[in-house]
Structure 1
Amino acid sequence: MVVLNKIYTRTGDKGETVLGNGDRVAKHDLRVEAYGTSDELNCFVGVARLEAKGETDAALSRIQNDLFDLGADLCRP
């Protein structure tokens, strides 16, 4: 079992996060909200795939790949 007592990012938490290109933006920035929402949707699609079979599973797999690409695009301005 891994135990994490302390985690340091060395940048502090001033209500900001770092985008894929290194830019810092507010954690409530619409871009951060958008890629967080697309990631959350991707999780729900993954849960649906647990029960999906055949062509439905294949379609959901393509949707997941598209959502990964969308998240990456949103992460890099």
Structure 2
Amino acid sequence: MANHHSRTSAQSFFPLGSKGDHLFSVRAGASVEDVLNQVHCILLSALEVALETARAADTSKAWATVYLLEMAQAEPPRVLRRL
């Protein structure tokens, strides 16, 4: 089982231009539990948007997005219960 004191390492993403700067980053030292809670909230928000889109568009790709997001958002709580 994971250590309850697990911390993140720094990770930048979404590069901007040629300078090597990044728009977003995960800071080093954040609690894994806090990060997983935030990931879960972000995925739930994305799922709400995807559901609205799928209901309006009713295409297989839109519904596939809903199903993928449902699977992804189910993981953080499951992992958190194991920590």
TM-score range, shorter chain: 0.3 to 0.5
Higher strand fraction (1 or 2): 2
